[in-house]
Amino acid sequence: MIPLETAFEALITSFVENSVGQVDHFLNDDLSRHLREQLMLLFREKQMKVAGVGNNAKLHYDQLVRSDVIYWLDRTHNNPYENIFFDLMDAFVEYLNRTCYTGVTSYEFHYAYYDQGSFYKRHLDRFRDNKSRAFSMIMYLNEDWQAGDGGELVIYHEDHAQRISPLGGKCVFFKSDELEHEVLLNHKPRMSITGWLRRN
């Protein structure tokens, strides 16, 4: 297992160098498997909800923009693996704030399930009327993702598009107000935890 601070440092270094941080095995196999099992259970029990576009008053549901379903993680669920995940995020935020003076004050994370044939069209993660989302963070929970399975994350830089395969355990990290991105059509179920580090 990679020591925590090594993984944090690798994520931050690649973020500084490429505007998009990426680390494989950010979640270890055991945690990744337990979170995936929890996500599949929530999906089977129909607890996941159609994801919206925008926030608060402007929230609407547009299946032409995105077709995933989501479920917000919360410590009050007392799920041991969600809590291990939150402990990891607490440690990361503490490390990020200490080493980069980022001033992150809170976060929010949801599970996302993209059933076969889903997508999320090109968008920016920060809302027009609420600027608190500072960083976007995505962690994939897929067991075995092949080149032909689709579902790549495409990030649009000024002069090129970067494609990222949603490999289990991988973490992707970027500024929420800068980089437009999309999720391409997937040919088999695609699972992740996606969230935002916020500054109030």
Q: Which residues bind ligand OGA (CB under 6 A)?
A: 112, 120, 125, 138, 153, 166, 181, 183, 192, 194
Q: Which does 176 bind (CB under 5 to 8 A by kind): Mn ion, ligand OGA, none?
A: none
CB of 111 vs ligand OGA, minimal distance in Å? 11
Q: Which is nearer to ligand OGA, 4 or 161 (by Cβ)?
A: 161
Min CB(170)–ligand OGA separation in Å = 10
Question: Of 32 and 192, which has the nearer Cβ to ligand OGA?
Answer: 192
Q: From Mn ion, ligand OGA, none, which one binds at residue 192 (CB under 5 to 8 Å depending on kind)?
A: ligand OGA
Going residue by residue from 124 to 153, which x/- string records binding to Mn ion, judged by CB under 5 A?
-x----------------------------
**SS3 readout for the chain:** CCCHHHHHHHHHHHHHHHCCEEECCCCCHHHHHHHHHHHHHHHHCCCCEECCECCHHHCECCCCCECCEEEECCHHHCCHHHHHHHHHHHHHHHHHHHHHCCCCCEEEEEEEEECCCCCEEEECCCECCECCEEEEEEEECCCCCCHHHECCEEEECCCCEEEECCCCCCEEEEECCCCEEEECCECCCEEEEEEEEECC
Query: Measured from the CB atom, is 38 or 118 closer to ligand OGA?
Result: 118
> By C-beta, is 89 or 138 nearer to Mn ion?
138
Q: What is the contact surface with Mn ion in residues (CB under 5 A)?
A: 125
